[in-house]
Amino acid sequence: MLDLFFIIQKLILVSAVLAITLVIAMYTTYAERKLAAFFQDRVGPNRAGPFGILQPLADGLKFMFKEAFIPANANKFLFVLGPSISMIAACMACGVIPWGSSLMIMGHEVPLQIADLNVGVLYLFGVVSLGVYGIMIGGWASNNKYALLSTIRASSQMISYEIAMGIALIALTLSTGTLSLKEIVSLQHGGHWNVWVQPLGFIIFIICAFAETNRMPFDLPECETELVGGYHTEYSGMQLGFYLFAEYINMFVSSTVMAALYFGGFNFPFLNSLGLSHNLVTLLGVGVFFAKIFALMFFFIWIRWTIPRFRYDQLMRLGWKVLMPLAIFNMLVTAVLILL
């Protein structure tokens, strides 16, 4: 009996999280286009529905109806596998995010987290690194030199920045003493956000997150002047759509992770002094969590439309010679402080 309830509860949670992620990613494309327009004193898409609100649907439909062309010399299987991996890896990370504390439904306590892994941070890290395979496989399978070069760029960039990111995370786990995302979030209860504890770590993490999601200052894999369309040069139709879409899911996931790791997740000040019922507090917490996520996503977009990109050698230098030593320094300082 309990098992059935458990399975149903998880199934609902999985579908809800997946649906919410996809819808948010969809509307991030809209937000990006709108905000880009606003930053440039334009109005942005405003034809499909009121304020262009149906624009993402129109974009999706357009991708669907376009021919998904596979070049003759491409490896057909891997060519299709590439975007699928990108998409799946992007979606998988949501599994360990604690979206809220828990709801009381019919006397059962339902945690708003699909799986509370005790190595949540590691899982997250592993899944995020999987994303690079999507790009690598797709670019290689295209059998196109531009795609291949861009793939090499993308993978070396991601690998370089993953190191600094990982070390920043080590510092974080040192100071929290746990790898479970749920515990990390609960530890930040009452305004003890990790940004205050780990400001340098956060800055390193957010820079690496930009690089991991291939977004502006680090969006070198796509480069019209040198590499045509980058790793998705040969892609069209919904397969291209998957690649572009995965970028937005990744952006959402990175914002979520940052909100959870550094900004207290679903915690908000005066959480328990409001005197509200448990469920209401949880729902409020979910709302607060999403507000934090959206603020971070806005920051992603804001950065993209503000600063120019790095040159590739600068990018590598920043990753290896600046961020990595800084991250190690941060880790050592954290370790020493904890020892004292």
Partner 1 sequence: MLTNRSKVVVNKTLTFSESLYFPAIFRGLMITMSHLFKRKVTVRYPEQTRVFSPVYRGLHVLKRDEKGAERCTACGLCAVACPAEAITMVAAEREPGQEALFREEKYAAQYEINMLRCIFCGLCEEACPKEAIYLTPRLVPSSFKREDFFWKKERLLETVENRVDVSRRLMRPAQKGAA
Binding site for partner 1 (CB under 8 A): 35, 37-43, 46, 302-303, 305-307
Q: How far is the CB of 199 from partner 1 (least distance, A)?
A: 12
Nearer to partner 1, 17 or 251 (CB): 251
**Cβ proximity of 146 and 230 under 8 Å:** yes
Q: How far is the CB of 43 from partner 1 (least distance, A)?
A: 5
For the bound state, the minimum distance from the C-beta of residue 237 to partner 1, rounded and expressed in Å, comes to 24
Contact assessment for residue 264 and residue 193, using Cβ atoms and an 8 Å cutoff: yes
Report in angstroms how near the CB of residue 37 gets to partner 1 at its nearest. Answer: 8
Measured between alpha carbons, how far is 172 from 190 in angstroms, rounded to an integer?
18
Instruction: Decide if 145 contacts 319 (C-beta within 8 A).
Output: no
Residue number, 130 or 303, with CB nearest to partner 1: 303
Alpha helix (H) ranges present in the chain? 2-39, 55-65, 76-92, 120-141, 145-176, 181-187, 194-197, 199-212, 224-227, 237-262, 278-304, 312-317, 324-339
Tell me how far, at minimum, the Cβ of 260 lies from partner 1, in Å.
24
CB-nearer residue toward partner 1: 11 or 43: 43
Read out DSSP for 208-220?
HHHHHTT-TTS-T
Contact 220, 315 (CB under 8 A): yes
Query: What is the residue-wise DSSP string for 40-96?
Result: TT-----SSSGGGTTHHHHHHHHHHHS-----TTS-HHHHHHHHHHHHHHHHHGGGG
- Residue closer to partner 1 (CB basis): 5 or 302: 302
Q: How far is the CB of 303 from partner 1 (least distance, A)?
A: 7
Nearest to partner 1 of 36, 152 (CB atom): 36
C-beta closer to partner 1: residue 139 or 319 = 319
